[in-house]
Amino acid sequence: MSTEIRSKHPRDIFNELKWKEDLDLNECTVEYIHRGAPGNTKRVSGEDITDIGHSFFTLIPDTMIPYHRILKIRYKGEAIYVKP
């Protein structure tokens, strides 16, 4: 993996992308379970994340998604997290 992300849990990955100087949360995409959407999944940009909470992350406009629904996180196109 060329991107140096040390964290393993989605919440920790988001915080690392947000706070580490050489990384950028806005450069990630998140695929998560969204019942009713085509394929029951939805993909959003890191730019849409407004809050990184303890059990949920929040998207514009005030949509709370629990971390256990995250299927994949990509950073600059590279998969950095895939749900086991």
13-17 contact pairs (CB < 8 A, 24+): 13/73, 13/80, 13/81, 14/46, 14/49, 14/52, 14/57, 14/73, 15/52, 17/46, 17/75
In a domain, 65, yes or no: yes
In a domain, 32, yes or no: yes
In a domain, 13, yes or no: no
Q: Which pLDDT does position 3 carry in this prediction? A: 62
In a domain, 45, yes or no: yes
Please give the residue range of the domain that contains residue 70: 21-82
Q: Which pLDDT does position 6 carry in this prediction? A: 87
Instruction: Write the pLDDT tens digit of every residue in 37-75.
Output: 899 999 999 999 999 999 999 998 889 999 999 999 999
Count of structural domains, the chain: 1
15-24 contact pairs (CB < 8 A, 24+): 15/52, 17/46, 17/75, 18/52, 23/75
pLDDT at position 1 over 50? no
Q: Domain holding 29: CATH number?
A: 2.30.30
In a domain, 4, yes or no: no
Q: Which pLDDT does position 2 carry in this prediction? A: 52
